[in-house]
Structures are given as structure tokens and as C-alpha cells.
């Protein structure tokens, strides 16, 4: 069994679905179920004995320690994090609590568990920490892409909290010998993405006839990674990565935010045209840029390709078409997320079916 934290969020739920589609090894899924945690993402696994869900916080040391003792996972994959930059600007406290203190508590619980393993089990155990390219700061237009050796220069409360968690993970390896792996990924997109991030927000707003808000001039550059490709990279790092090492995971797809929005509008013009025959580009509205908005991120994913043989399979053109098509095919998911009804769905579908509360007991 493996333990996945944050496995009801966007990337985490995609990873759990992908893992169980490819393997019969069970997943113990620990998620706090904040606003971005959505068990409806995992509806396909309802009744599947390979998926054990527990609602709880990585910072709850007694709960985590009990789960480790009971389920004896061979690996931990840590997705649990607050991740929205805008939210971190308006309220940094939750980001510090989850991303820094929570990671510390998870590492300490894991260290105690690891110390009690037999030598052969210790040799096979891994703690994989999923992080972001935002810890590296911002690049000028002509600068080389981020490598694993780039100096950390976080510019938002979110990226600073993730940088801190990365440092903690590194320290627990060098000080205590915990066999850790860290991945720093570029911007993900794909199914089950909570519609506050750029791509799902543009799709949802466009279809609803709402403005498509673009920060500033829209020339901020990001590298875009299809979430299923990210999941395959994490599996590969977990399988063959060297303890103590960091692996950058990117899509080799640098695009400006405005290019992304134009691409989405053009796909929707093709796949779900407006009733008036006008382009969705008519809905684009430039808004005041957010404070400290990094201008460019770019990932050099050469190390993971050279050492582990991983490279993304999706181009941005194929991945974004799959993403838009998914949102068009799942209006109920979007509606439930926007209205908050997905929380009612969780209570209805899982309330008496083994979802554990934060004490670990079945709710």
C-alpha cells in the first residue's frame, strides 16, 4: 500500500485514479477536504476496496501515526498543500499552517514510522514530496529555464511556504536519513481542476457568458503540463528516483496567459459556439495585475529525462483539447463545484460508507 496525502484535490485525485488504473496496489488516501478537496473526483472508486479514504489533516500527528502503524505503507506521496496564489495574498496563515507546519508534522510522523521498519523495509521506503516551480521565483524573457540547481527566490506567500516545505524535506533526508524525493512541477491543467485557476476559470466563465479576466497585459509566461503526464512522472520518480534528489517536471510548453485564453476561446468557438455566432474572445477583459505577479516560469525537465527516461506524451495542443472536451462533457461536476453542492454529494454518497472523520473513525 502507498499513502497519498491530498488525494482528493486536483492533482492528487488524478494521481489516485491513474495509479489504480495501472496497478492493483491499494491507496490510503488522506485529505482534509478543504474547499478544493472533492471526493466527487473519485466517484469511480466508490466501493473499490483498493481505495481507503480518511478525512484528516497531515498536521494531525496522532491520526497520521495511527494510520502509518495500521496500514504500513511502503511509500508516502505528499500532495497536501494550499496552492492558490491569490488566496495566499489575502490570507497567508493557512498556507503557513498547511505547507510549512503540516509538512513538518508529516515528516516527523514519517520519521518515527521509518525508524521502526526492518532494514529491508527501510531500504525500499520512499517519501515523495510534490512541489512547484514557483519556489524558484521569476525569470526574465531570455533567461535559461529553471534547473534543479536554481536558487530559491519565492515571491508570494504561497511559493515561500512551498520553498520552506522543500527545505524541510531536504533537511530530514540529510539530518535523519529519511529517503525523500522531491518533484518541482510547472503549471498543471486537465480534468477535475477547481475553477479558480486560469484554464478552468476561462472555460467555465466563457460558457456562462461571463467576462474572461486576464491579469495586466496577459504576457506572463508559464510552462504548461498536462496532469496525466505529471502523474506518470511521479510514478517514475517513485519507482526509480534516487533518495535525496530533486526532479523538475515540466511540459516543454511555454505560453503566455493571453495565448492560453485565446486558445481556449478558439476551441470553444469550434466545439461549443456561442448562440450569437461571435467569438468567445469578445468576453476577454484585462484587469489590474495582482501584487508580485511573477513574469515568467520555465522548467528544464532534462534531468528526469536523462536519468529516469521520462518525457511528457501530450503537447499543449492535444492536452488543452482534451481538457476543454472534458469540461464540456461534465457540466454537473462544474455546477456542483461552483455551488458548493459537491460537499452535499460527499455527505450523501460517503457519509455512511466508510469516510473517516479527523479522529480516524468511520463517519
Determine the angle formed by the axes of helices 10-22 and 227-240, rounding to 10 degrees: 60
Select which of 57, 82, 113, 158 is catalytic. 158
Q: Which residues pair with 225 in a beta bridge?
A: 188
Q: What value does the CA radius of gyration of the chain take, rounded to a whole number of Å?
A: 20
Nearest C-alpha neighbor of 333 from the set 200, 139, 175: 200
Work out the angle at residue 121's Cα, subtended by the Cα atoms of residues 115 and 123, and round it to the nearest 5 degrees: 90
The conformation of residue 361, written as its DSSP 8-state character, comes to: S
Nearest C-alpha neighbor of 186 from the set 16, 324, 11: 11
Write the DSSP string, 291-335.
TT---B--B--HHHHHHH-------HHHHHHHHHHHHHH-HHHHH
Q: 133 catalytic, yes or no?
A: yes
- Note whether 313 and 3 are within 8 A (CB): no
Torsion angles phi and psi, residue 132, rounded to 5:
-135, 155
- Note whether 248 and 300 are within 8 A (CB): yes
Select which of 57, 134, 229, 294 is catalytic. 134
Q: Is 224 left (phi over 0), alpha (psi -120 to 50) or beta?
A: beta
Q: How far, CA to CA in Å, does 53 sit from each of 10, 46, 191?
A: 16, 10, 20
Select which of 60, 133, 223, 294 is catalytic. 133
Number of CB atoms found within 10 A of residue 134's CB: 27
Strands (E), the chain: 2-5, 27-31, 51-55, 75-78, 126-132, 180-185, 187-189, 212-215, 221-226, 246-249, 254-256, 284-287
Torsion angles phi and psi, residue 288, rounded to 5:
-55, 135
For residue 193, the number of C-alpha atoms closer than 13 Å in the C-beta half-sphere is: 26
- Give dist(CA 1, CA 357) in Å, integer: 21
Q: Which residues form the catalytic set?
A: 133-134, 158
Amino acid at each position: 500500500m502507498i499513502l497519498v496525502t491530498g488525494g482528493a484535490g486536483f492533482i492528487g485525485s488524478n494521481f489516485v485514479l491513474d495509479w489504480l488504473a495501472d496497478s492493483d496496489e491499494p491507496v490510503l488516501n488522506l485529505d482534509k477536504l478543504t474547499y478544493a478537496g472533492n471526493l466527487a473526483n473519485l466517484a469511480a472508486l466508490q466501493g473499490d476496496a483498493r481505495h481507503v479514504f480518511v478525512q484528516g489533516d497531515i498536521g494531525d500527528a496522532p491520526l497520521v501515526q495511527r494510520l502509518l502503524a495500521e496500514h504500513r505503507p511502503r511509500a508516502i506521496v505528499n500532495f497536501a498543500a494550499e496552492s492558490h496564489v491569490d488566496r495566499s495574498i489575502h490570507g497567508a496563515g493557512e498556507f503557513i499552517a498547511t505547507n510549512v507546519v503540516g509538512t513538518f508534522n508529516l515528516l516527523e510522523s514519517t520519521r518515527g514510522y521509518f525508524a521502526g521498519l526492518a532494514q529491508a523495509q527501510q531500504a525500499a521506503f520512499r517519501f515523495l514530496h510534490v512541489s512547484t516551480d514557483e519556489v524558484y521565483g521569476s525569470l526574465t524573457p531570455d533567461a535559461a529555464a529553471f534547473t534543479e540547481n536554481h536558487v530559491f527566490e519565492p515571491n508570494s506567500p504561497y511559493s515561500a511556504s512551498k520553498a520552506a516545505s522543500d527545505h524541510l524535506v531536504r533537511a530530514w533526508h540529510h539530518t535523519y536519513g529519511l529517503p525523500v524525493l522531491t518533484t518541482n512541477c510547472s503549471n498543471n491543467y486537465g480534468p477535475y481542476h477547481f475553477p479558480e485557476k486560469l484554464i478552468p476559470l476561462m472555460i467555465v466563465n466563457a460558457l456562462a457568458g461571463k467576462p474572461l479576466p486576464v491579469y495586466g497585459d496577459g504576457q506572463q509566461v508559464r510552462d504548461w503540463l498536462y496532469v496525466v503526464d505529471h502523474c506518470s512522472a511521479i510514478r517514475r520518480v517513485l519507482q526509480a528516483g534516487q533518495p535525496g534528489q530533486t526532479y523538475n517536471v515540466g511540459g516543454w510548453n511555454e505560453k503566455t496567459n493571453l495565448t492560453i485564453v485565446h486558445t481556449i476561446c478558439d476551441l470553444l468557438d469550434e466545439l461549443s459556439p456561442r448562440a450569437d455566432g461571435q467569438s468567445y474572445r469578445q468576453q476577454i477583459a484585462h484587469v489590474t495585475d495582482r501584487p508580485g505577479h511573477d513574469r515568467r516560469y520555465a522548467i528544464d525537465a532534462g534531468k528526469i529525462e536523462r536519468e529516469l527516461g521520462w518525457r511528457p506524451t501530450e503537447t499543449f495542443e492535444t492536452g488543452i483539447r482534451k481538457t476543454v472536451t472534458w469540461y464540456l462533457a461534465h457540466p454537473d461536476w462544474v455546477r456542483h463545484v461552483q455551488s458548493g453542492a459537491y460537499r452535499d454529494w460527499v455527505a450523501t454518497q460517503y457519509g455512511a460508507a466508510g469516510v473517516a472523520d479527523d479522529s480516524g473513525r468511520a463517519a
